[in-house]
Structure 1
């Protein structure tokens, strides 16, 4: 499953860059073609970000990557109280 998410991630980012480049630099395209390229680029962006975030979460849970050092709720509250002093 992780490999599938990684493949989707690569394809999504490739689509984002390819269609984004077309939408920004192509000359002689109709308005419809530009809108389609922009929509496909946006879909690639959203899919790429979601797939990347899933990959990050999976690698942190498996121990392959270091976990992000997020504070628990109590430590966050203490830090917020001390910040204003």
Structure 2
């Protein structure tokens, strides 16, 4: 997962507790889990966001399926918004 914030939430290797909602036309699921920070990219200018690369520790099977469905829904949306351009 990529997470952008106004400041660094930790360093590489630190663990975070994350909670978010996956919402699409056929899906509405709250996910709460822990994640390991795998990379941190700080913005270069004042006010730039800091981007964190996160790896989830564990997701149960229902959460994994919800994540996959959400990603596929977003891919379908992107294809529709681009009018099928390749």
Decide: shared fold, TM above 0.5. Answer: no
Give the number of the structure with larger relative contact order, counting CA–CA contacts within 8 Å between residues 6 or more apart. 1
Normalized per residue, the structure richer in helix is 1
TM-score range, shorter chain: 0.3 to 0.5
Q: Which has the larger radius of gyration?
A: 1
Report the TM-score when normalising by structure 1: 0.33
Normalized per residue, the structure richer in strand is 2
